[in-house]
Amino acid sequence: MQRNLIGAGLFVLSSLVFVPHGNADPLPTEIGACSDTTIAEIGYRLGEPDTGSAISYANGGVQISYDTIPEIHHSKVGDAVTLCLVSLPEDCPPDDDRGKVYRASNLRTGETWEAPDSQHSCGGA
């Protein structure tokens, strides 16, 4: 059964510091770089179906989408995932790098998806 992330929604999670746990590589910092991690939580952007998808990883990574991404919801907590950095936000203030896009590949299902790490890129609303 899939869990809703932090009651009101994962958008709250994107503004918090997520403490990595378990055996997971650090998040990739260069475009094209990848890391191995596992799924920590799966849910919906605002905690309810039809509000988009949200997922968090053991290495502190998150992905949030306004769209429902079926591949995320086919996954299970604990699934091994390869997480690759696809793009970095541009023209952001120095203290705000939200909007990094990651490609995730679930090693159990063989499915892949892309989504950003925030609902809004570098301070956008």
49 inside domain: yes
3-state secondary structure of 11: helix
1 inside domain: no
85 inside domain: yes
**Is residue 84 within 8 Å of residue 36, measured between CB atoms?**
no
Q: Tens of pLDDT along 88-120?
A: 888 888 777 788 999 999 999 999 999 999 887
CA distance 83 to 36: 6
Measured torsion, CA atoms of residues 3, 8, 14, 19, in degrees rounded to the nearest 10: -60
CA distance 24 to 106: 14
Overall number of domains in the chain:
1
- Amino acid identity for residue 33 in this structure: A
123 inside domain: no
97 inside domain: yes
26 inside domain: yes
Across the chain, which distance is largest between two alpha carbons, in Å?
40
64 inside domain: yes
What is the percentage of the chain residues whose pLDDT exceeds 70? 79
Q: Is the pTM higher than 0.85?
A: no
Q: Which domain holds residue 59?
A: 10-116
CA distance 74 to 85: 22
In order of 27, 39, 82, 108, the CA distances from 24 in angstroms are: 9, 10, 10, 16
Q: Has residue 122 got a pLDDT over 80?
A: no
5 inside domain: no
Q: Tens of pLDDT along 48-102?
A: 888 999 999 999 999 999 999 999 999 999 999 999 999 988 888 877 778 899 9
